[in-house]
Amino acid sequence: MPSYRYTARDSAGQLVESVLDATSRREALRLLAGRQLQPVKLDDLAAAPRSGPAGTKTGTADLSTLSRREHLPFLQALHELTLSGLSAGEAVRLLSLRLKEKNLRLLSAAVWERLSGGLPLSQALEQIPGTFDRQTVSLIRAAEATGNLTDVLQRLIEHSIEEKEMRQRLITALVYPVFVCFLAFGVVLFFIFFLLPKLQGLLTSLGGKLPLATRIVVGSAQFMVHYGVIVIPIAIVAGIAFWRWRQTEPGRRTSDAWLVKTFFIREFVLETALLNFTQILAVLLENGIPTAEALRLTERTVANRTLQAELHLATDRVLEGASLSASLTKTGFFPDLMLDRLAVGESTGKLAPCLRDIARNYATRHTRRLHALTSVISTTVLLFAFSFVGLIAYAIVSAVLEVSASFKF
């Protein structure tokens, strides 16, 4: 008879690990349910390593088209069905049969294969590569232990929608600055390759000494024409080298440290990280994840390595018995007002609602700062473009007047 090693939660919420004998995985799950144990992990000790999880036929190669884009639609569809009274397994099975969108149907089928093989929903989602993050899996696992899957799915959906709207606002805000940058670059290219040759021909035919502004413009343009084939490739190679260096862990740590020290960019980076921190931590705490575990999960979502390291130290201090507000104070990155509000939330036992309120305020501030940043970029690029065009116009007019004054009538 096969033997299964399991990790499960008992009625008190404690983790229990042991081995049991059963004729099949389904029988093992039935026996665990009879003992009032909620399975977290169930492994067949006699099973040989296989390429697919839980004996499924859907391999990683089949799921290569899946991405984070399917995360929110899947959760929304699953929530609608569980809200109507279906179990998670039955809801996923229906989704695998009824969904029309190819990737969503593939995702649902992959999850259903894992569920039908005996895995709990959290573990089935965890085995789908690149689609569900650790926070989602942890919350689903907590929901399975507490029996409030529908509420957890609702909070996950709200959080995912907030993240999606934030990304859309960022993209929308950057459209105009990017357009202006391309326009300014086009003006420069037009002058160098079309206007400059005609200007040089005109000035050469007129003769005379050119003014300083004209010599500067013509000299700069000629430099770009003759040496641009060298300068541009060097700039591209330098950019690629910097990007590859930033992908390394030492490079990421160093460049992230620069970002939190750079004027103006520092405030934007900090607000983005703190907004993400408060949103995710609020969701985790609202769904019953212990504070220390929630902090560990949240710190991994912070992209900036400098901030991530400081949050890791803050979590260590919480594990040693310090309060959350006192631990975050020592990082030096959290505003005093935010820390005071966290201290009040801790003292009143309403830390999660306090974090949710802070996140809303930061979202508003972040939107305003985003608009300010894009306005500065747009204005700077426009000023550069107008200044460049004005310099060209001044160089042409002054050259024509200088050459005309040299003629004797």
Position of tokens 């969503």? 104
- Asked if pLDDT for residue 55 goes beyond 50, the answer is no
Structure tokens at 121: 């929903």
- Residues 39 and 65 both lie in one domain: no
Nearest Cα to Cα of residue 260 among 300, 299, 309, 318: 309
The pLDDT of residue 120 is 86
14 domain residue, yes or no: yes
> What are the φ and ψ backbone dihedral angles of 262, each rounded to 5 degrees?
-80, 130
Per-residue CA distances from 94 to 87, 104, 112, 156, 326 (Å): 11, 12, 9, 21, 48
- Residues 323 and 180 both lie in one domain: yes
The pLDDT of residue 78 is 92
Structure tokens at 341: 């509000």
Q: Mean of the pLDDT values across residues 170-196?
A: 76
Most confident of 58-62, 223-227, 235-239, 373-377: 235-239
**Domain stop point among 132, 153, 180:** 132
- Residues 331 and 300 both lie in one domain: yes
The pLDDT of residue 282 is 84
325 domain residue, yes or no: yes
Position of tokens 């206007």? 195
Which helix (H) or strand (E) is 44 found in, with range?
strand 38-44
Structure tokens at 62: 């089949």
Query: Domain of 253: which CATH number?
Result: 1.20.81.30
308 domain residue, yes or no: yes
Residue numbers of the domain that contains 12: 1-45
Full DSSP string of 47-109:
PPP-SSGGG-S--TGGGTT--GGGHHHHHHHHHHHHHTT--HHHHHHHHHHH--SHHHHHHHH
Most confident of 84-88, 223-227, 313-317: 313-317
- Residues 99 and 244 both lie in one domain: no
Range list of H helices, 121-211: 121-126, 134-146, 149-190, 196-206
143 domain residue, yes or no: no
Band of pLDDT at residue 131, cut at 50, 70 and 90: confident
- Residues 96 and 166 both lie in one domain: no
- Asked if pLDDT for residue 62 goes beyond 60, the answer is no
- Residues 187 and 260 both lie in one domain: yes
- Residues 105 and 170 both lie in one domain: no
In the sheet where 38-44 sits, what is the strand order? Answer: 15-21, 3-9, 38-44
25 domain residue, yes or no: yes
Determine the residue type at 73.
P
The Cα–Cα gap between 109 and 90 comes to: 12
- Residues 286 and 354 both lie in one domain: yes
- Residues 377 and 246 both lie in one domain: yes
- What domain count does the chain have? 3
> Are residues 8 and 40 in contact, defined by beta-carbon separation less than 8 angstroms?
yes
- Residues 298 and 204 both lie in one domain: yes
155 domain residue, yes or no: no
- Residues 41 and 75 both lie in one domain: no
- Residues 111 and 194 both lie in one domain: no
Which residues make Cβ contacts (< 8 Å) with residue 149, sequence separation at least 6?
Answer: 82, 88, 121, 140, 143
Long-range contacts of 204-210 (CB under 8 A, 24+ apart): 206/400, 206/403, 206/404, 207/403, 207/406, 208/402, 208/403, 208/406, 209/402, 209/406, 210/399, 210/402, 210/403
Which residues make Cβ contacts (< 8 Å) with residue 169, sequence separation at least 6?
Answer: 367, 370
Most confident of 114-118, 175-179, 184-188: 114-118
- Asked if pLDDT for residue 366 goes beyond 60, the answer is yes
154 domain residue, yes or no: no
139 domain residue, yes or no: no
Most confident of 99-103, 137-141, 293-297, 367-371: 99-103
